[in-house]
């Protein structure tokens, strides 16, 4: 089971590597050509923000592949234990290899939407002159509002429940509060980590993960 999902994760990783290399090439090309087209004062800040956002999205994409494989293995079982009140062994017997592999096809694209999007919002807000708390509130609100339908779709697919327009924003308020708290805590933890290790950058893997 783990090997089958790992094979799909490796294939997704290979596609991601090729995509990231093309993105990096595009960033390098634009960083070289942009100053020739625009004025120096206008080009540099926007080019710098664009590079930071792309780097953060790449890091989020890598994380999405790893988390998708783990979620495909564990999420259907955990949801059955928490929601249907099954015992662990009963929940494991209730899922099949085909079901988990099919759910991996759901977790991977939904993660590709959620993880890079969150990192892009956070990286963009980091370039603005706002406090970490305000940045966390804004990031959490925008992220939850935009991606909660994806989260609920994924949850209901893992439980093999019906998905319709009436339940795509289910549990909005507790989710937005959770994501705002996470955004604020993460921003301050990032600040403290960079202060403790001055050679690290905010987009370095050891800081993000």
Q: What is the pLDDT of residue 189?
A: 92
What is residue 209's predicted lDDT score, i.e. its pLDDT?
Answer: 60
Number of H helices, E strands in the chain: 7, 0
Positions of the chain with pLDDT under 50: 4-5, 7, 10, 14-15, 17, 19-43
pLDDT score at 44: 52
Find, among 148, 128, 118, the residue nearest to 57 by Cα. 118
Q: State the Rg of the chain over Cα.
A: 20
pLDDT in tens, 107-133: 888 888 888 888 888 888 888 889 999
pLDDT, one tens digit per residue, over 81-113 is: 888 888 989 988 888 888 888 888 888 888 888
């Amino acid at each position: 089971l783990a090997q089958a999902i790992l094979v799909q994760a490796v294939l997704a990783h290979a596609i991601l590597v090729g995509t990231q290399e093309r993105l990096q090439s595009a960033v390098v090309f634009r960083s070289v050509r942009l100053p020739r087209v625009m004025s120096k004062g206008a080009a540099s800040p926007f080019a710098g923000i664009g590079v930071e956002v792309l780097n953060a999205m790449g890091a989020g994409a890598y994380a999405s592949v790893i988390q998708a494989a783990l979620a495909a293995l564990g999420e259907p079982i955990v949801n059955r234990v928490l929601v249907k009140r099954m015992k662990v062994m009963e929940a494991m017997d209730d899922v099949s290899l085909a079901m988990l592999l099919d759910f991996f096809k759901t977790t991977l694209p939904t993660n590709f939407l959620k993880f890079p999007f969150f990192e892009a919002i956070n990286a963009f807000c980091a370039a603005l002159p706002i406090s970490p708390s305000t940045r966390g509130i804004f990031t959490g609100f925008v992220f939850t509002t935009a991606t909660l339908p994806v989260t609920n779709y994924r949850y209901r697919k893992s439980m093999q429940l019906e998905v319709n327009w009436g339940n795509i924003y289910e549990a909005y308020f507790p989710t937005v509060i959770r994501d705002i708290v996470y955004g604020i805590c993460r921003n301050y933890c990032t600040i403290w980590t960079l202060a403790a290790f001055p050679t690290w950058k905010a987009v370095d893997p050891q800081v993000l993960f």
